[in-house]
Amino acid sequence: MTEDATASSGSSARHRLGWIAKTVDWLGRIGADPEDDEDLRQKKALLVLLAVLILPVSVVWGSLYLGLGSPVGVVPFVYFAVSLGSLVVFARNRNFDLLLNTQLLDIMLTTTAGQMLVGGFLPSGGVGLWGILAPLGALVILDVRRAIRWFAAFVVIFVVTGLEARCCFRTQTSRRGSPARCWC
């Protein structure tokens, strides 16, 4: 391989990465405030970038469910709409707490609701476990005490939606073959 060919392919790779770097830089500046300290600026950029990266995942997730005939596929599109809407609002008002709480609630509630509507943990393939991203995100961005509250909230919501799915969204029979009674 000649030096020209090597230089040409290196330049081409840098050019392709150039637009990615520019896009990441642009996204990282959404909601930035000149008065933010470096720590807050990094937290804002991280949350915006993660939220944007998860958007295509939600489209694929919802499309697969809908393509396979499950109406539960609407839930990921609800996630998409809420997440994108919160990013647009954040770009305008720069309210980081609103963005953070919306993103954390969105990922926690839509994944556990999707799991519930499919019929529980096993029928959904454990999709509700993705809700753990909310307390993990809180741990990265917030102090430990507030992150523990998010972990507790996740556990409560995960268990409650799991019980609700078991009672209301699956056909169950008792040991005698008659329909099981449920509190819902």
Q: Is the pLDDT of residue 49 over 50?
A: yes
- The pLDDT confidence band at residue 29, using thresholds 50, 70 and 90, is confident
Residue 104 CA to residue 50 CA, distance in Å, equals 11
Structural contact between residues 74 and 62, judged by C-beta atoms closer than 8 angstroms: yes
Q: Which two tokens stand for residue 133?
A: 């991203």
* Residue 8: per-residue pLDDT: 54
Structural contact between residues 58 and 76, judged by C-beta atoms closer than 8 angstroms: yes
Q: Is the pLDDT of residue 133 over 60?
A: yes
| CA distances in angstroms from 88 to 30, 99, 149, listed in the order given | 9, 10, 27
- The pLDDT confidence band at residue 100, using thresholds 50, 70 and 90, is very high
Q: Helix, strand, coil: what percent of the chain each, to 5?
A: 80, 0, 20
Q: What percent of the chain has pLDDT over 90?
A: 45
Mean pLDDT across 21-25: 73
* Residue 144: per-residue pLDDT: 94
DSSP string, 66-118: HHTT-GGGHHHHHHHHHHHHHHHHHHHH--HHHHHHHHHHHHHHHHHHHHHHH
